[in-house]
Amino acid sequence: MNAIATGTGGLPSLKGRVETEAALGALTWFRVGGPAEFLVKPQDAGDLAQFLGALPEDVIVTVIGAASNLIVRDGGIRGVVIRLARGFSKIEVEAEGIVCGAAALDATVAEHAAAAGLGGLEFLSGIPGSIGGAVAMNAGAYGSDVKTCLDWVEIVTRQGEERRLLAEDLHLSYRHSQLPPGAVVTRARLRAQPAEASLIAARMAEIRESRTKTQPVRARTGGSTFANPPGQKAWELIDAAGCRGLVRGAAQVSELHCNFLLNNGGATAADLEGLGEEVRRRVAAATGVTLEWEIKRIGQPSGRPEVVA
């Protein structure tokens, strides 16, 4: 049992908000998952730093952003769940870049850059989620990723220290960054270059059209489920294994893009995760390739873990 399991009296003081047994499902794009023991929404980076610095080391801390690529398991999350909100969403346009809070949505940052005549960030318009998560996983799409444009990132460590790291300090690679363990991204600067407004607008329109035609953008989904293996595409492997349209409970592999899982209404986190594991099993059996999850799965199962056939 962690040091705060008996109630909010054990939490350090906070200027922001604290909720106990807070529902998380409605915050995720899949709309599934159990509650957070404590959901903490700090006011700003200083508030977060003070809170983490005073929080006992044995308390488990989980950070969620826009929860666009996240499955929260049905048993919920013990300990403290931190969600950055309004105080971390500011976007500032500079001469050749954008400084943005971790809670700013990727698409919103792309729109601000476009309005300022800055190019190079159009790819963000095709990535669901927020900047903090984009940095943490080196998010990418449409021929670019965060590594190509990140100058620096500001973090708060698990010990409550506020730090600024250069992009090279993160050793960014495919869907991965080497942030210090337990660190929370609070702000980042992205490079951009002056460009013709018409060209920026055309590229963003192209990305929007491509997403609409090839991805289930209006469904309850979490984006790409599995990372692309080196030199291969996950969706092609899934299709080759006969998994397009596969169903488990109220969860389904998308017919439109089979690297997307769908909640068709009433799915549980166990339905979705179990379906994903079944896809991995079938792909491995058919192709010899073991797919790695790109969607994060956090929290505890409800009752006994589901057995995958």
| Residue/partner pairs of 209-212 with CB below 8 Å, 24 or more apart | 210/126, 210/142, 211/126
Active-site residue, selected from the candidate residues 158, 175, 281, 297: 175
Catalytic (active site) residue 294: yes
| The three-state (H, E, C) secondary structure of the chain, written as one string | CCCCCCCHHHCCCCCCEEEEEEECHHHCCCCCCCEEEEEEECCCHHHHHHHHHHCCCCCCEEEECCCCCEEECCCCEEEEEEECCHHHCCEEEECCEEEEECCCEHHHHHHHHHHCCEECCHHHHHCCCEHHHHHHCCCEECCEEHHHCEEEEEEECCCCCEEEEEHHHHCCECCECCCCCCCEEEEEEEECEECCHHHHHHHHHHHHHHHHHHCCCCCEECCCCECCCCCCCHHHHHHHCCCCCCEECCEEECCCCCCCEEECCCCCHHHHHHHHHHHHHHHHHHHCCCCCECCEEECCCCCCCCCCC
Active site residue 210: no
Tokens 């920026």 -> residue: 200
Known active-site residue 224:
yes
All residues at 6 or more sequence positions from 62 whose CB lies less than 8 Å from its CB, including other chains: 36, 77, 79, 80, 81, 82, 298, 299
Q: Please tell me which residue in 68, 125, 130, 224 is annotated as part of the active site.
A: 224
The single residue of 37, 154, 273, 294 carrying the catalytic annotation is 294
Active-site residue list: 175, 224, 294
